[in-house]
Amino acid sequence: MLRFIKHNFVGIDGATFYSILSLFIFMTIFIIALVIAIKTPKKTIDAVGNLPLENDNVENNNNYE
């Protein structure tokens, strides 16, 4: 599989730069998502997790704040 992709990057100047940049962007987004998931209160996670199971009421229930 790699041999099919590898020959495309031979003619690109700075291909290693693009690969390192893409890895850095991925890791940054992953770490930000992880921090947000850890810092989100359990009450909010439970409220959002139960949204598909709740009845369709007209009233607005703000259980998470």
* 57 phi/psi in degrees, rounded to 5: -90, 155
Judge contact between 48 and 64, C-beta under 8 A. Answer: yes
Tokens of 1: 């599989």
Query: In terms of pTM, does the model score above 0.85?
Result: no
Tokens of 24: 């850095």
Give the SS3 label for residue 38: helix
Tokens of 6: 């590898």
The span from the CA of 61 to the CA of 51, in Å, is: 11
Q: Tell me: the pLDDT tens digits for 10-59? A: 777 777 888 899 999 999 999 999 999 999 999 998 888 888 776 665 45
